[in-house]
Amino acid sequence: MKPIKVGLLGLGTVGTGVVRIIQNHQEDLVMQTGSPIEITKILVKNAGKSRNIDVSSAQLTEDAWDIINDGEIDVIVEVMGGIEPTKTYILEALARGKHIVTANKDLMALHGQEIMAHAARKNCDVFYEASVAGGIPIIRTIREGFASDRITKIMGIVNGTTNYILTKMCQEGADYPEVLKEAQALGYAEADPTSDVEGLDAARKMAILATLGFNVEVALDDVSVQGISSISSDDITYSQRLGYELKLLGIAERDNDSISVTVQPTLIKKGHPLASVNGVFNAVYVYGEAVGETMFYGPGAGELPTATSVVADLVAVSKNTNLGVNGRRVTAPYKQKKLKTDEEVAYKNFILLHVSDEPGVLANIAQVFSQHQVSLQSVLQQPNPNNPDAEIIIITHEANQASMKKVLNEFTTLDDVRRVVSVYRVED
């Protein structure tokens, strides 16, 4: 059988893992696909650099166009990251009839539909399993495993950096700045951690998952985002005292034809499977009308876990090539997008207030909630020797966000409320 020839854009951590797997698992890959998979050219920044992987100098190039214009290359694997010039390379490769495997979540979240449209016109495959949750095959599962079901909710931990930070804060009582420095020293967080800690990385992944799960074109701007940089050790302590763990969760929900997609710190009951997902691991919970609740758990990053997803996509392209069915699995979102309004988005809320330590304050606060039809599930007044004001921790019953915004706005006008310290979503 004719070999499947691959051009690899990037030889960093993931690219190196792709080369290792293809070299070490060649016999298994041939048995699965019916064809050898050969990496013929690799784009690198410095071809003369020494590497801990067995590649020949003849395979290396510093010019991406050597790969894009090579008529013998069937598939381009993109693991270089970024938006440009990556997008240009991929569109030009598709124009030449080459199939694409990418791990680029930023590109697929922002320009995925444009890329898929180009692929459909050229009968090319575009696979991007590694763009979300590393080694967890969540994209293939949503696209194929739930094909006969109707997904109503996708909820998960899709960023390992923030999960590592929150795990350390929960288990060791450490403060956020301290744990962030440790995460950077270990290589879990970038020198500029903004994308991770402010929830942008998770938002891109949730846009991809929601688009697939709901068959609606979800843009990054459609995702409501709140990061973890303002979370304090007090937030962690009170969450745990109330029987919750604090996680950065991506949550995409569909009710009838209306959807909402958010990324935000969320209190989740300790008995829930997501509450025990710690460190840099990822997990995605998917709710289907027929199957009910399912969860997918595994490493969210790393050389071999992510490379495994890339090579799995390569196997899919190879099988399609041998069957002559490339490009037939490209399905554009076909449902009209209707985002939920604040009146339609409802969930429980955790609120930490610093208030005057005087009689009648709690009654005044309760009256504000009552005026805006928000009922309370629990109220705890907690003494804090480091704070002369009283600390009140409230968990509401499910309340729509229009009402909650009115409550929080009114708190800013009350003399009794010194400060609204924290407001987080609660998932039981």
**Among all residues, which ones are annotated catalytic?**
205
Residue type, 175: D
